[in-house]
Amino acid sequence: MAPLACVRCDAPGAPGALGCACGGLLEVRPAAPALEGEALRALFAARRASRAPEDRSGVWRYRELVAPDLPVEAIVARGEGNTGLYPAPRLAAWVGLDRGALWLKHEGENPTGSFKDRGMCVGVSAALREGARVLACASTGNTSASLASYAALAGAPCVVFVPEGKVALGKLAQTVAYGARVLAVRGSFDTAMTLVDEAARAYGLGLLNSINPWRIEGQKAIALEVLDDLGWSPPDWVVLPSGNLGNISALGKGLREARQAGLIDRLPRIAGVQAAGAAPFARYMRDPRGDLVPEPRPETVATAIRIGAPRSWEKARREVQALDGGVLAVSDAELLAAKAEIDRAGVGCEPASAASVAGLKRLVAEGRVARDARVVAILTGHLLKDPETTVELHRERGQVVVDGTLEAIGAALAGLI
């Protein structure tokens, strides 16, 4: 496997280590791939015609840039990636891109309904290869659903730490169904994250949060697939919701490595969007000196990103700076307004995902994204993840109860026909 090194002090990391002695996170430092440019693009394209699971997966298809040393028989895959990239002209107009273009990359179309599957298939494969027996994570719900699925596929036991009462229904249902042991921790995600980290060290659990460097390597495939979808013609911006900051770190690393491998000739800019009640990184990036100051009481309707002490802030800072990006916070009202538009466009997403479109609207209004820009907004989770918030949001469109007569139906069709 490729070597690990600390993002803070550059010291080498031992395989399977959770962090560096200095307190920094570890990252994978891959060797340059043997192929590059057109040869690599052609290899990726050829794999689309193959039936082999490792070629059909929208993560493992790009394995030269993901985890090239992992033998194919060690790969756990269930067709992750291959998510839709939807042109969204009405939403483009809504956010103010009147001369530009907007695509929605729907990562909710991954096997367990969120972008987490991209990193999880690689994280679980690598952890089991390195000898982990019991797998664990803290989660606001999507990571736990994803880990529970991949652990079950691989036949490994898993335990997940979730903030009690703060996990959306669909996510909890999945996690329980796939057979994880669910520990509902009294406290926030941040409490659960600290505890699982300690428990992993104390009890020898394989930790599958995005502080695990192999999670990031898999999540990089989001960048590769977006570029591939666009015929390797990079957009001007990629916008995404940000919580624990693993995904933005992976996106930036993936884009930079794609350029190094000659897959693209220029880098897009990236923007991370937080919920205003849980926006320590947006605050920090206004003047990024010293350490990030956590938000002690994170609060937002978007429970997926209800996070006050994001762990990957140093990696995320590096990527935002390297890609001339931005970070901002949007209110719950802005986020829900964007969700309503995404839902009515026929695409739909869970609340946190809508932060990308809400943030884009603000960036266009403030002139930070030009009105003729080509933009990809990443939708991180499926509409069905959080049915309760969605039914509440669209309450005025709720069902009409009717008598079983044609007259009653006719009355209920008023205004439609």
Does residue 353 belong to the site contacting ligand F0G (CB under 6 A)? yes
**Per-residue tokens: 262:** 């000659």
List the alpha helices (DSSP H) in 261-297.
Answer: 280-284
* Coarse DSSP helix, strand, coil percentages of the chain, rounded to the nearest 5 percent: 45, 15, 40
Burial of 262 (0-12, 13-18, 19+ CB in 10 A): middle
| Alpha-helical runs (H) found in 155-234 | 169-177, 189-203, 213-219, 221-229
Q: Does 356 bind ligand F0G (CB under 6 A)?
A: no
Q: 91 or 251: whose CB is closer to ligand F0G?
A: 251
**Least spacing, CB of residue 138 vs ligand F0G, in Å:** 7
Q: Which residues of 96-114 are buried (b: 16+ CB within 10 A; e: fewer)?
A: bbeebbbbbbbbbbbbbbb
Phi/psi-derived region of residue 164, left when phi > 0, alpha when psi is between -120 and 50, beta in every other case: beta
From candidates 111, 213, 246, 252, binder to ligand F0G by CB under 6 A:
246
Contact residue for ligand F0G among 159, 304, 338, 363 (CB under 6 A): 304
- In the bound complex, what is the minimum distance in angstroms from residue 410's beta carbon to ligand F0G? 42
Q: Which residues pair with 375 in a beta bridge?
A: 102, 237
Residue 301 and residue 34: Cα distance in Å, rounded? Answer: 46
Give 129's contacts (C-beta < 8 A, 6+ positions apart).
Answer: 1, 70, 74
What is the footprint of ligand F0G within residues 137-196 (CB under 6 A)? Answer: 139-143
Is residue 128 within 8 Å of 74, Cβ to Cβ? yes
Among 175, 247, 389, 390, binds ligand F0G (CB under 6 A): 247
State yes or no: residue 252 binds ligand F0G (CB under 6 A): no
Task: Write down the least CB distance from residue 132 to ligand F0G, Å.
Answer: 19
Cα 401 to Cα 346, 352, 389, 398, 405, distances in angstroms: 24, 31, 21, 10, 12
- Smallest distance, Å, CB 52 to ligand F0G? 29
- SS3 letters across 218-230: HHCHHHHHHHHHC
Looking at beta carbons only, is 56 or 105 nearer to ligand F0G? 105
Residue 54 and residue 60 in contact, taking contact as beta carbons nearer than 8 Å: yes
Give the β-pairing of 158-163 and 135-138: parallel
Q: How many chain residues touch ligand F0G (CB under 6 A)?
A: 23
3-state secondary structure of 390: helix
Min separation Cβ 97 and ligand F0G, Å: 22
Q: Does 58 bind ligand F0G (CB under 6 A)?
A: no
Edge-to-edge strands, sheet with 12-13: 12-13, 4-6, 26-28
The answer to whether residue 245 forms part of the interface with ligand F0G (CB under 6 A) is yes
Nearer to ligand F0G, 40 or 278 (CB): 278
* Residue 100 or 170 with smaller CB distance to ligand F0G: 170
Query: Cβ of residue 234: shortest distance to ligand F0G, in angstroms?
Result: 21
- 125 touching ligand F0G, by CB under 6 A: no
Residue (114 or 125) nearer to ligand F0G, CB: 114
Query: Which of 305, 336, 338, 373 lies at the binding interface for ligand F0G (CB under 6 A)?
Result: 305
Q: Smallest gap, in angstroms, from Cβ of residue 229 to ligand F0G?
A: 20
Q: Which of 117, 197, 314, 350 binds ligand F0G (CB under 6 A)?
A: 350
Restricting to residues 88-117, name those near ligand F0G by CB under 6 A. 114, 116
Which of 381, 389, 390, 393 lies at the binding interface for ligand F0G (CB under 6 A)?
Answer: 381
Enumerate binding residues for ligand F0G (CB under 6 A): 114, 116, 139-143, 210, 241-248, 304-305, 350, 352-353, 380-381
